[in-house]
Amino acid sequence: MIAKSYFENTKKPFVIAVLAGAGSYNRTKISLNDEILIKNGILEALKAGYNILKQGGSHLEATEQAIIKLEDYPLFNAGKGAKINQDFEAELDASIMDGSN
């Protein structure tokens, strides 16, 4: 999902996008309630980053806060919702790439 906005109080126009994990959800195999919960989790991550950018915060701060929301959401395969690897361990890593440098 992508939120796009142009604000008079920001220095530059911005676009924010989030990826909620590498797993897949088959619409025929999940309930409408679960689909709503998944979309709400994505929306919360977008809002977290969006609000920082709207207030003039940095792209790195916005990225970090969006990631924190995603990692805290149990339906996504990051953080609390991590998938177990072939050794039956929760293997996690995270990074932020800044293309400006």
pLDDT for 43-58, tens place per residue?
999 999 999 998 989 9
Asked if 79 and 46 touch (Cβ cutoff 8 Å), the reply is no
Number of domains within the chain: 1
Average pLDDT for residues 12-28, to the nearest whole number? Answer: 74
Helix (H) or strand (E) holding 15: strand 14-17
Q: Which of 9-23, 25-39, 68-82 has the lowest mean pLDDT?
A: 9-23
Q: Which amino acid is at 61?
A: E
32, part of any domain? yes
CA proximity to 46, closest of 81, 11, 18, 9: 18
Q: Specify the pLDDT at position 23.
A: 62
58, part of any domain? yes
Q: Is the pLDDT of residue 93 over 80?
A: no
* Domain coverage including residue 56: 2-81
Q: Which two tokens stand for residue 35?
A: 């689909």
59, part of any domain? yes
